[in-house]
Structure 1
Amino acid sequence: MITSNDLHFFAVLSGARSLAAAARALDVTPPAVTQRLQQLEQRLGVRLVERSSRQLHLTVEGELLAGRGAELLAELDGLADALVARRKKVTGHLRVAAPFGFGRRYVAPAMAALRTRHPDVTLSLMLFEDPAFPRADGWDVLIHVGALGDSALTLHRLAANRRILCASPAYLARCGMPERPEDLRRHDCGVIRENKTDESLWRFAGSDGEQVTLRLQPALASNDGTVIRDWGLAGLGIIVRSEWDVADDLKLGRLIALLPGWQLPDADIVALTGSRSGRVARVATFLEELRSTLHPIPWRVDRPEHVIGE
C-alpha cells in the first residue's frame, strides 16, 4: 500500500512550506506534486495535507505519516549501513539542509568533496531561507547559523562566527558614524526577517559589561541576507551580517565595522543530527569533511578588518 519512495516523497513534502517549494526540492512541476499527493491520499484513504492556504499544513494523519515514515526510513538506512559497514565502505543517500548563502559557499563544496572521495554516496542539498522551514526528520544533517531554541537534536559545533555591525564608506560619509548603540536610532538600518524572530531588536554588550538593547524602526528589511548585504554595500544603511558573509567586504574596505568595544550575540555555525543519523557512516564522514572545510576558519584567514573608531 505504501512504499519507501512514498515515504521519501512525503518527507520532502512535509518539510516544504508550499507545493511549489516541494516541487523545487523534488525537481518536478507543482502539478506533478499535487497529482502524486492525491494518489497517495487515495491509496491510504485519508487526507494528509490541508491546502486551504498558500502554506501547507499537515493533518493529524499527515503528521503521523511524516513522523513514523521518518523512523521507518531511518531504520531502512540503518539496515543498509549495517550491511555496508561489513565492507568498510561509505555509501547511501545523504540529505542535508542548509541556509541559502552559507549552503552555497561552504556546504555544497564539502558535499562535492565527499562524493569525490566516496562515489557510492548520493547527495541531496536543500537550501532554505527560514531556519525553521525544514522538518528535522526529513534530513540527515541540518546546518544552522546563530542562536538555537530548544532542540532534541544532537548539536555538532563547526565554527565560530560573529555578527558584525557595518556600513559602507559612502553611507558613513553621508550620515556620520554612530558612537554608541543608541545612536543607531538616528540612522537608516537594515534587518533580515526570518525564522519568525524579532530582528528589529538589537542587543549589544560593551567591553565594560554594559548591556544595551535597542528597538529599531528599520528602513530596510528582507528575508534574504544577500539582499541586506547588497543594500549595505550600496550605501543604503547600517546592517548586521554574519562574519562569514562580509569578511571579504571588510578586508577590501567595501564595508566598515562599527562600534568597536560593543559586541552583538555570536552566531556560531552548527550541524544538527538525529541521535541515530549521527552514527551513520556517511553522516559522520560528511561532518568530518565539513569541519575540514571550515578549519582553519576561512573567514578569519588573512582578513584584517577595517574598523572606524579604534
Structure 2
Amino acid sequence: MDRLTSMGVFVKAVDLGSFASAASATGLSAQMVAKHVARLEDRLGTTLLNRTTRRQNLTDVGRAYYERCKHILAETEAADAIAQEMHRRPHGLLRISAPVSFGTRCLGPVMTAYLARHEGVETEVTLSDRYVDAMEDGFDVLIRIGAVNGTALIATPLRPYKMIACASPAYVEARGMPQAPSELAAHDCLDYAYWSPSVPCRWVFSRDGTSTEAKVSGRLRSNDWGTLLHAAREGFGIVLGPELVLADEISSGRLVRVLPHHEGPARPMNALTPANRRPTAKVRTFVDALVAAFG
C-alpha cells in the first residue's frame, strides 16, 4: 500500500467520523479503509484510533499524526497543482542552444517576440557551433543544422538552411561575375573553417538536377561568420553563407548574389528536444514559435 494514500484514507476517516463514511467518500470498501489505517499503525508501532462498534477516538499519538498528515497532504496537493500549472502554462527558465551565425542574425526577433507573449518565462541562449549534449548540459531546446543521429533527441523539422554565394558590388566590378561554379577557382573565396578538421567545407551548386562541386580558395579563412561577412562587404572575396542572413545584405545593396541561377547547398535544420523528458509548456510553445518563424 502507498503510504501517502493510507494517510489520505486515515485523514478522511477522522474527518468523517467512521470507516463506513470514509469508504463511501473514497470509493473503497470499509474493510479496505480499515486495512489502510492498520497498515499505518503497524508501521508506526502504535495505535492511532481507538475503535468500538459505535464510535472512534483519536489517541494522543493519532491526534498529532493526524495534524501532520493533513499538512503533508495539503503540501502534496499544492506541489501537484504547481506542476500541473507549469505544464499548462509556460513558466520558468528555458535554456536554448543554437549555432552562432543563425543565433546572432536570425534568433533575436523570435526570442523577444516569445518573451513578450510569455511573461512567466526566462530564457538563456547559448550560441556555439560545437557539439553539445542536451541531457548533460541541461538544454531544453537545441537548434541544429545538419543531419540528426540517434534516438536521444526528438527532431521538429524547420526550413532547410539554404546557402547562397555573394560578393560586394566593388568586388564584382573589379574581378567580374562568375557564370559557372567552375569559375570560382579563379576568384578569392572567403572560406568557413569548421572547428572540426573532419568536417570539410564544400561549395556544391546545382542546376537542372546536376550538381557541381566548386574548388575554392582564398586569402581568408575563419570559423567566425561575422569576420567573413565583413570581408565580403569590404570587397575581399566571395562568401558562401545562409540565405536567411544574406537576404538583408542583398536588399540593402551591400552585397549582390553570385551564381543566381544555381542553387547553393542546403542542410536540414531542426529544433531538438530531449526524448527522455516530457515536454513542458515552455518547451512546446517555444518550438511552436520556431516553426512559425522558420518552418
Using structure 2 for the length normalisation, give the TM-score. 0.64
Give the count of matched residue pairs: 212
- 1:262–1:237: structure 2 CA closer, same or farther, 3 Å change rule? same
SS of equivalent to 2:174: helix
How far apart, CA to CA, are the structure 2 residues paired with 1:107 and 1:277? 24
Deviates more, 1:112-121 or 1:252-261: 112-121
Contact between 1:110 and 1:286, CA under 8 Å: does it hold in 2? no
How far apart, CA to CA, are the structure 2 residues paired with 1:149 and 1:93? 25
How far apart, CA to CA, are the structure 1 residues paired with 2:273 and 2:102? 18
SS of equivalent to 2:290: helix
SS of equivalent to 1:114: helix
Q: Which amino acid aligns with 1:287?
A: V
SS of equivalent to 1:248: helix
Q: Which amino acid aligns with 2:147?
A: L
CA drift of 1:199 comes to 4.5
Q: Which amino acid aligns with 1:135?
A: D
Partner residue, 1:304: none
Deviates more, 1:158-167 or 1:279-288: 158-167
Matched, 1:204 2:205: yes
CA drift of 1:100 comes to 2.6
Q: Which amino acid aligns with 2:174?
A: R
Using structure 1 for the length normalisation, give the TM-score. 0.61
Contact between 2:189 and 2:237, CA under 8 Å: does it hold in 1? yes
- 1:114–1:202: structure 2 CA closer, same or farther, 3 Å change rule? closer
Contact between 2:147 and 2:268, CA under 8 Å: does it hold in 1? no
How far apart, CA to CA, are the structure 2 residues paired with 1:201 and 1:106? 23
Structure 1 stretches of 4+ with a deviation exceeding 4 A read: 80-83
Partner residue, 1:136: 134
- 1:217–1:106: structure 2 CA closer, same or farther, 3 Å change rule? closer
Partner residue, 2:95: 95
Matched residues, percent identical? 32
Q: Which amino acid aligns with 1:84?
A: A
Larger radius of gyration: 2
Contact between 2:194 and 2:201, CA under 8 Å: does it hold in 1? no
How far apart, CA to CA, are the structure 1 residues paired with 2:278 and 2:207? 38
How far apart, CA to CA, are the structure 1 residues paired with 2:173 and 2:190? 18
- 1:275–1:157: structure 2 CA closer, same or farther, 3 Å change rule? same
Q: Which amino acid aligns with 1:136?
A: A
- 1:181–1:276: structure 2 CA closer, same or farther, 3 Å change rule? same
Alignment of 1:31-180 (within 5 A): 83-86=82-85, 88-128=88-128, 130-132=129-131, 134-137=132-135, 138=137, 139-145=139-145, 147-152=146-151, 153-180=153-180
Contact between 1:81 and 1:281, CA under 8 Å: does it hold in 2? no
How far apart, CA to CA, are the structure 2 residues paired with 1:90 and 1:195? 35
Cα deviation code 1:128-153 (max 9, x no counterpart)? 2x242x222221111123x2252432
SS of equivalent to 2:235: coil
How far apart, CA to CA, are the structure 1 residues paired with 2:80 and 2:124? 18
SS of equivalent to 2:194: coil
Cα deviation code 1:58-96 (max 9, x no counterpart)? xxxxxxxxxxxxxxxxxxxxxx89852257332232110
What is the root-mean-square deviation in Å for CA atoms of aligned residues? 2.5
Q: Which amino acid aligns with 1:100?
A: V
Contact between 1:200 and 1:217, CA under 8 Å: does it hold in 2? no
Cα deviation code 1:237-258 (max 9, x no counterpart)? 0110100111011123221112
- 1:278–1:202: structure 2 CA closer, same or farther, 3 Å change rule? farther
Partner residue, 1:73: none
